[in-house]
Every structure is written in structure tokens, then in C-alpha cells.
Structure 1
Amino acid sequence: MNAIYLDNAATTSVYPEVIEVMQTAMIENFGNPSSTHQFGRKAKSSVETARKNIAKHFNVSAAEIIFTSSGTEADNLILYNAILNLDVTRIITSKIEHHAVLHACDFLQTSENIVVEYVNVDAFGTVDVLHLEKLLKASKVKTLVSLMMINNEIGNLLSVHEIANVCKLNNALFHSDTVQVIGHYKIDLQTTMIDFMVASAHKFHGPKGVGFAFFRKGFGIVPMLHGGGQEKGARSSTENVHAILGMEKALEIAHNTLEEDKVHIENLKFYFITELKKISEDFQFNGHSGDIEKSSYTILSVRFPTQNEMLLFSLDLAGIAVSGGSACQSGSNKGSHVLSEILKDGEEDKTSIRFSFSKFTKKEDIDGTILKIKELF
């Protein structure tokens, strides 16, 4: 069997066009953007053009985009900035957020003595909006709400406009980890009133090691990294020119083909669900990942009927790359904090696998995976 890659929520393959752009930049545009000579000016011009082009995709100004090394750094920069610069003394988040948010909140709670509160989620991982409203109304302190738009493990779509409205009505700032969104869904930040969001290029067929943070105009930025004062003082570090240009290209391609890619991937996800149910009606889908309308079309979190500690290993041996989703399987040391939060006793003991798809996933990949699952069950 040929290798099958179904772990695109972890990382995606890089577009050939992106590799070409980056290679050209490394050869012909190697200057330091902080240098004042022609090589530096050329690099600086390329970075600023990329910033403008990326900003246009979200209907914002270039000044609102800060380049980072990753979505994790961008999340941390936003959370730190809210506390150290914007007088936030309370963060409301959920227990099923990415660790880039949860661990940063834990650290800030200890180091800066802020209050961290958790909004309730139901058995599907859906945020309880009424509980969020209750938490916001319970205190008048400056608050940041941090909730991800697409959950990276179960694919749930956040009711982002509803959350944004609740935050606005209660004078709270709103940050959303949008790493699984960028390159797959279009966001107009003039109509979607998120104050802060993040991106990571390798989630949409760009290079690893580069991303960005969006800070809505009007919010100053206190840097976490100090030194050269790059990114208008928001992030000291020589800009990763070739990676930034690669990210710009990847986002351009993603947005140009977004609708047709969505149809292709959504059809594959629906087909995969149908074929799994043919094997056994006992297959379940964690969160809302089995609901095409309520989850990302790129993610499907499958709970198998039984416990199989070697399932990940067996799929890997068969050339099928996927991610685990519970503590009881090979390849997982601590298990999934997301599944631990939403699953009942007995459900969590069953093996869960996250399958995630991209525009390069083929029907043959689904068929090969289904065939192997049939062999194992």
C-alpha cells in the first residue's frame, strides 16, 4: 500500500509554488531587512508587500499584522500583551483550548496574579454562551475572552459572531486561536469583530516556523522579545524573509482555490463517515466532527467501538499517518485533554483517532484506510 497522509491538522505538505518562491528568495533576496543598503531595502520591501497582501485577505490594514514564528508564539504574544499592556486582569477561556492558550494562561495566572475562569462546554464541546454571559456580567474587571474558532482535535466550529457580540456588549476583549481556520475559511475582520487572531503557515501548505498575529487597530503592543525592535517594536528578531514570502504565497493559493477545495474535502469527509458506518454503526464521532454543518470539513475525530492500544501503531505500519485522541493508545503519553473534558466514563476508554484531510487527499486514500480498518475490526 502506498503511504497515506491523513494528519493535515498537524501539518500540511508545502505547495511546490511556495517552495519555488522561498528558494528564489533565499538565493536572490537574502538581505537583512534592517540593513539600509540595497540588499536590506529589497528584503524590507518584500516583507512589507507580503504584509499588505496578507492583510487584504482579511480586510484589515498592514499595520495590524505582526509576523511571528508560529501560531503558538502569536497566541502567547496576544495573551501577554493583554495583561501587560491592556490592563486585563481576568481571562475567560475553556478547558478544551489549545495548550498554547491554556499553558500561557496558567503561567500568567501564577506570574501576574490574574484570574482565569473557564466557560462550560457541553458533551459535544460546544461553548455555553449563557454561561459566558453570566461570567462576564459577574465582574466589571477588564476581561479577555479566548476561545478558538475551530477546535484542533474535534473540529467544532465556534459561533464566533455570537461570542463576539456577547464580548462587545460586556466590554470584553475577544481573542480567537484561528490556526485551523486560516487558509480554509474566509474571514472579513470588518464584519467578524475579533480583536486578536493568529495564523500558522504550515496549516495551509506553507512553511513551518512562520505565522502572524492580528492586533486590531488601536491596541498598542508590548513585545515579549527585546533586542532589535523589528516589527515596529512588537517583536525583536530578524524577519524570516523567505518563510514570510512563502506564507504569503500559500495564503494566496489557498484563497484562490478555497471554494473548490472545500467541496472536494467535504465530499471526502462525508464519504469517510459513510464508509465507517458501513463497517459498524457503533463508530462514534467526537464533538461535532461528524456533523458537516457544525465542524470543520478538514477534521474528523472517530471513536472506535472498542479499545485498541495498538491501533495507531498498526495504521502507521500500514503506511497510514493519523493522530491519536485518547490516553489508552500507543503513541500518546498523556492523552487528549479535550476528550477527557467532554467524554463520559467508558467513552474515554475507547480508542479515538483524528483523521484530517487536505486538498491533496484522494478518494483512494480513504478507500485504503477503510480497508485497513476493516482488517483490524
Structure 2
Amino acid sequence: MINGLEIYKKKWNIETDRSIKPGLQAITAALAELNNPHQKGYFIHIAGTNGKGSTGAFLAAILRKHGLTVGNFYSPNIEDLHDQIQVDGKPVTEEEMDSAMARLSKLETPLTDFELLTAAAFLIFEQKKPDITIMEAGMGGRFDSTNVIDPELAIITSISYEHTNFLGHTLENIAWHKAGIIKKWKPIIIGQLPEAARNIIENEAKMLHAELILPEKQIDIELKLKGRHQKENAKLALEAAKEILLLKFNHDMAENALAGATIPFRFEEIYPNLVMDGAHNEASIKALVETIKEQYPGRPIHIVMGILKDKEYTKILRHLETVSDHFTFVDFENERALPAKTLFSENRSKIKTIVKYYDILPVPNKKEVTLVTGSLYLLSNLRNNHFEMFENYRIQKK
């Protein structure tokens, strides 16, 4: 579900397939009809189970600090589809999206929702001409609709179990999909990967004569984005910036950019005693649990959770139960959402309840830290319903 897309489809009478159909045939044909906008730019491609958005935000911040204009294609959205397509940190406007959709409405090739949004992104980047565009893969990599580009550099942030019904049930299968973004003779930067996954990536890189780069230097600066995993993401972005900027790279400017970089819903305090984090799979939940212990030692934690039905919610609950015995489960507006009653029945905590997602605010217990997690779609719904409250607090914090 891409929030806001239906409005444009209805306005421009565009029919799409809302299912997920990995493959490049349709998007390639559609882009050919549009005179191949994806071939007119300098691209960086990012894939990975977790860390794609943060790494892209870190890298964009460094490049902008060096005077470059930077496009970003994120997945999924925070508020709606406009923030998935950004130039210099500013979401695409309704007018720019209308212009893209007007052209897309004339396509003869039928597309899925995500393919349509990807094509719109390429048209907008073609029109706005950023110096560098950072494309985040939606799912996997090899057959993801973003993989029509020939990037100057690729990054694989992490590999763990995700979307197993599409990507396969082993780390080797999943790594094979991620490895599809590696291009011949172009460098590939990788994060800390499990050995089984790393072997697949190394073999693909060797076959394509792609230089494999593993950053070694630690990041010692204080980041706004909290957690040990964010320092790993920052390290990847720093290495990528060095590859892109070469002699123009300034380490002090890069570190200054990293220190100030932010992205919504990455352990973000959006109101006093209320933190939102978009962790939604076992690996990211493990990182979240570590960050909770690091940031709030000794504080009672109240977990508010909603999640999609295709996630490993039982394993996720077991990890979260190590830092909290107070849970609230919520139903939220998404056709793929897992019923809150399922989470309630699987949960082992002492205190648990079910509420409508908009009933969790305001936070009544000042001793507790309330942490909302499980799905970016849930967090997006909450932000949209309480936008004015959250924005006022964000401005006050500045």
C-alpha cells in the first residue's frame, strides 16, 4: 500500500496491479516508452534488509554538505508517496507528481503500484536534474523495479531473513537477490554480513569484476540517529562518499554532516516519553532492543505495537519481552495488517491490552517510556493523525 497513490491513479485514470510482481520486463518496457529517463543521471543503488533509508540519508547529507544536489528515492513512505521522492531533502510537490502522472497515464505497458511510483521518480529526477540520485530498492534487488539503473556505486547494508515468500527461505537465497544490484566494473560497498550471505556477494562481485569494499574504520562522532547499528550505517555512507567525491572529499565536512543527519522513525523522540521506531523484522528488532537498553537503562518501557501479517511476529515479541512487560496492541489501516488480537494472544507479558491506534496519545504515565514499533505504516498513520502536535514539539526541540 502506497499512501496517496490512489488519489493520483483516480485523477489520471491509471489502472495498476496492486500485487507484488518482482521482475524487470514491465518497468523496462514502460521506461522505454518514456525515452528511458533512468539512463539520464548519476545513480547510487542501495539494497539491504535493514539500514537502507538511514544510509541513504547519511550519504545525502554528506554530499549536500559538499555542495551537490541530491535526489533520494525511499521505500516505504513516512506520510505519503511525496516523501518517497526527494531532492535536497524536500519531498516532491503535488504539481510535480501531477506532471509525472500525466505522462504515465499515456503508457501502454501495465504496471504494479510500486513500478508506477518508480517510473514517476525517474521522470521527476530527469526533470529536476540532481547531481546524484540515491535509489533505495523496495524489495530484494535483482528483480526490484529500481534495478533498471546502471549505478556508479552500489551499497548492500545488511542481509537477514525478510520477504521469504518472494526472496527464499535461506540467507543464500536472499543474498542472491541483493547481489543483483552489483554491476560490472562498478564498486560495491557492503556492511557486516553473515558469512553465508557474504560468500554469495563476494562471488557475484568477483564474477562482475566489481571492487568489493568493506569499511573498517569506526565512527566515533555523536549521531542524532541513536543506536550502534546507525554507526554502521554512517560508516557505509562515509565510505561511499569517499568513493564518489575522491579528491574533493573533506573529512571534517563529512563528519559534520553525519552528526546532523536525521530520518523519521529511527528511534525518534516525537513527543516527551514517546519514541517511534520503524523496526519490523527480527534483525532490526534486535538492534532496537539494544538501543532501548543503551538509551533508557532502568526506565520502565511500554511497547505499543502493530505489525504486518507476513512478519515473524512471534520472534519479534520474544525479543521485545526482554525489555518490557507492558504491551499495547493496535489495529491500523492497512490491508496487510495483522489483527491486534493475534499479537495479544501470542504475547507473554503481565500487562497487555488492545486499543485503536489513535487512542495511544497522549502518553499518560510520565515514568514510562512509550515505544511505538512494528510497522512504518502504523507510525505513518499515527503521525498523520497527530501531525500538528508532533510538529510543534519538533520545532520546540530545535
What's the TM-score, normalizing by structure 1?
0.31
Q: Which has the higher contact order (CA 8 A, sep 6+)?
A: 1
TM-score, with normalisation over the residues of structure 2?
0.30
